[in-house]
Amino acid sequence: MACYRHCFIEEAAFACDLDDLADDCAGFLRLTRFWLDEYPAQVFDLQYEALVADPEDAIRRMLDFCGLLFDPACLEPREAARDELDRLRRRLRGAGVPLE
């Protein structure tokens, strides 16, 4: 893997040094554990596997935790993003902004 033979971006050492990547992961886990320990009622813990296994249930639980209502568009993020991009393009064209 080229990224581990040649470090292309020194500021992102985790991207080209496995030891640095391991240190960053350990730091992330420590920080996550801190927030879960200090503020358990204010942190929603969602396992990726649960999201993949049953996206609607996971998304509904997450939105409920945040006090937000469920919208079926949450289950189709690519569609929702494309629709929003189409709306933005129409507004920009209407304002005479060249898009190409």
Residue 72 CA: distances (Å) to CA of 60, 61, 80:
10, 14, 10
d(CA 55, CA 77): 12
Rounded to an integer, what distance in angstroms lies between the CA atom of residue 16 and that of residue 89?
Answer: 38
- Give the pLDDT score at 5: 67
Residue 4: the pLDDT is 62
Domain ranges of the chain: 2-73
pTM of the model as a whole: 0.59
Q: What pLDDT shows up at residue 3?
A: 60
pLDDT tens per residue, the chain (100 residues)?
A: 566 666 667 677 777 778 888 998 999 999 999 999 999 999 999 999 999 999 999 999 999 999 999 999 889 877 766 777 777 778 877 777 676 6
pLDDT of residue 95: 74
Question: Are 80 and 73 contacting, i.e. CB atoms less than 8 angstroms apart?
Answer: yes
CA dihedral for 76, 82, 86, 88, sign (positive or negative): positive
